Amino acid sequence: MQAKIKVLFEANTPLNHYLAAILSVFVALWLSSLLWEVIANSRFLLFTLAVVLSARYGGLWPGVLAAALSIFAADYFLLDPHHQLNAMPADVVAFGVFGIVALTISGMQAQRLHTMQDTRQTNEALQGILDALPLLVGLMSIDGKLTQINRTALTIAGLSQTDVIGQSFDETYWWSYSVKSQERLRAAISKARAGEFVRYDVDIRVSEDQYRTIDFMISPVKDAEGNVVHLVPAALDITERKRRELEFLHLTMLLENERRRLNSVVASVPGVVYVSYDEADAATQKMDFISQYAETLLGYPVADWYSEPNYWKAVVHPEDWERAVSEANAIYASGEHGAVQFRCITQSGEVVHVEAHSAAIHDDDGAQIGTCGVVMDITDRKHIEAQLLRYTEELRRSNEELEQFAYVASHDLQEPLRMVTSYLQLIEQRYADKLDDDAREFIDFAVDGATRMKQLINDLLSYSRVQRSKREFEPINIGDILRQVCDNLRLSIEDNGATITHDDLPQVTANAAQMAQLLQNLIGNAIKFRRDEPPQIHIGAQRQRDEWHFRVSDNGIGIQPQYTERIFVIFQRLHAREQYAGTGIGLAICKKIIEKHGGRIWLESEPDNGTTFHFTLPFDSSSKRSLP
């Protein structure tokens, strides 16, 4: 009751409502004056209409104002005497009845107006709430027509209220792109009209070439009797969630494929793949993963490795445990990868040699938390290494014995050979007048053979000395060595008209005698294997990183490419002795000298275009260029 009274007496009516009430009374007065003869018996008919319109439009007080003005206008302008406020008793009663009726009408219209305002404010508040929601929300009548929709639903498709309000929901822009979607929506509306809550995922159109996936639902709204009076469609845009779900599904499939591939790879690895946490000797070290090959190699079931911490301790050979743990922890502490070799005892009691390659595992903060790696069976390799070691030792002893034999044999053959040569020459001198031409020819053949035999023995002794020599290296100047070699070969150089040039040659750490023998063999060969024109020989040197690269080039007859390796083999000759003298040992000696010095030797050549011999010597801090 108090609320109704408060509604009736609120005095916040706008001025234009009062002006409208005044205007309506004047209109009623004007019409009444024109129709007075017709409505004289219903004098307040048009004024009553003015009061109703004023109260309907402006509320209580404009209605009251219209009633008061109507009584004044009727008394002053219409009732006798005109233009006087002198109503008869019967008119006063009529005025009272009119006033009561007018007040009643004004109150009723004010209540109605206030109710309409409340309803409008409620609707506006509801719309505001709906617009504030991140959902797509609306309101439908039970026949499926859209009566209200929030801003989110409109904005997502660029629509306005007039585009959708009053339309059947299934015919709106969101759904009209697909007959299948429309049919499903109609079925959902029918279920909701029957009081059922409906929910499903569906795509809606938001532009001509763009669609969004929504979690769509329709909720029925019931009155006090349980009758469905409204339907509330609502939806949550789950496009991004669906995209993430698809991405997650795709990544899950990729991960599963990678897991299967990794399992296949791990299964094919002939070693024990493992992942463990904590240090190798820690009491809490736990095996996080170990491949099936652990059972194949060592015999222990995979389940046993997970059963207790530090299971390795029961597997590693007791004599190797302390060293293996120390080396494994050193790798762990370094944060790098490395390998440890140790022995394991299999479940059957056999001893196998293994090599564990491991690397540290780090957490997201970079802290080391464990190791991963693979343990390989190297038992066969160990046996082969031991066998190779024995073979190497036997070969070393055999080579030493062979070198000793060659040295002794060559040395001991020199004296008998000298005697044979001397006596043959003595016979030729003493019995010259008694020997015929055939005898002299035979003696010449024998002396020549003995001379070649002596040369061969000397070369064998040189080769053996290189083999047996110790590493007695010292800083030497290659330029000085070259001058010494040129002095030794002076007669050959002059007889053949040879020209020898050289670059600025360095100082190296080497054996002086062997360097002289090397250069003398190479330069001697360049002079020996000459063409018709005088020999041109050049010795060059160039620093390349950690070694000196030497070149001995000539303009001689050259060498066929297929023989570039063969000529470094002992006793290998490319020409008959009648063409070029020699034993076929010189270049073998050169190769052995370079190998003794830790270098390499090779050649480049073309027939009739000369030959270049290359060899390298290690560079050290004492090496420097010599003076030209």
Q: What is the DSSP string of 413-481?
A: HHHHHHHHHHHHHHHHHHTGGG--HHHHHHHHHHHHHHHHHHHHHHHHHHHHHHHH-----EEEEHHHH
Retrieve residue 301's tokens: 């079931």
Question: Tens digit of pLDDT for each residue in 132-168?
Answer: 666 788 889 999 999 888 888 888 888 988 899 999 9
> 495: pLDDT confidence band, cut at 50, 70 and 90?
confident
Average pLDDT value for residue range 546-571: 79
Question: Tens digit of pLDDT for each residue in 177-197?
Answer: 999 999 999 999 999 999 999
Helix, strand, or coil (residue 338): strand
Q: b/e per residue, 235-270, with b = 16+ CB within 10 A?
A: bbbbeeebeeeeeeeeeeeeeeeeeeeeeeebeeee
How distant is the alpha carbon of residue 3 from its chain centre? 73
pLDDT value for 199: 94
Q: Which of 181, 250, 247, 187 is nearest to 218 (CA)?
A: 187
Q: What percent of the chain has pLDDT over 70?
A: 66
Q: Which of 359, 352, 304, 317 is nearest to 334 (CA)?
A: 359
Top-confidence residue, 553 or 88:
553
* In the predicted structure, residue 11 carries a pLDDT above the cut 50: no
Average pLDDT value for residue range 406-425: 62
pLDDT value for 331: 81
pLDDT value for 410: 54
Top-confidence residue, 103 or 204:
204
Domains and CATH numbers, the chain: 2-124 (no CATH), 133-237 (3.30.450.20), 269-377 (3.30.450.20), 384-463 (1.10.287), 471-625 (3.30.565.10)
* In the predicted structure, residue 459 carries a pLDDT above the cut 60: no
> 415: pLDDT confidence band, cut at 50, 70 and 90?
low
Q: Which of 298-302, 311-315, 431-435 has the lowest mean pLDDT?
A: 431-435
Question: Tens digit of pLDDT for each residue in 328-372?
Answer: 888 877 877 888 889 999 989 899 998 888 888 888 887 878 888
Question: Tens digit of pLDDT for each residue in 250-278?
Answer: 998 988 888 888 777 777 778 888 888 76
Helix, strand, or coil (residue 236): strand
Average pLDDT value for residue range 502-509: 90
Which amino acid is residue 261, in one-letter code? R
Average pLDDT value for residue range 285-307: 84
pLDDT value for 182: 93
Retrieve residue 253's tokens: 């499939």
Top-confidence residue, 80 or 14:
14
Residue 91 burial (CB count, 10 A):
16
Residue 452 burial (CB count, 10 A):
14
- What string of DSSP letters covers 298-325? H---HHHHHHSTTGGGGTB-HHHHHHHH
Retrieve residue 455's tokens: 């040369």
- Which among 221-230, 439-448, 553-562, 577-586 has the top mean pLDDT? 221-230
Q: Using omega within 30 degrees of 0 as the cis cutoff, is the peptide bond preceding 81 cis?
A: yes
Which amino acid is residue 422, in one-letter code? S
* In the predicted structure, residue 423 carries a pLDDT above the cut 80: no
- Which among 381-385, 536-540, 542-546 has the top mean pLDDT? 536-540
Average pLDDT value for residue range 398-416: 59
Average pLDDT value for residue range 37-42: 59
Q: Give the start-end residues of each E strand in 295-420.
A: 337-345, 351-362, 368-377
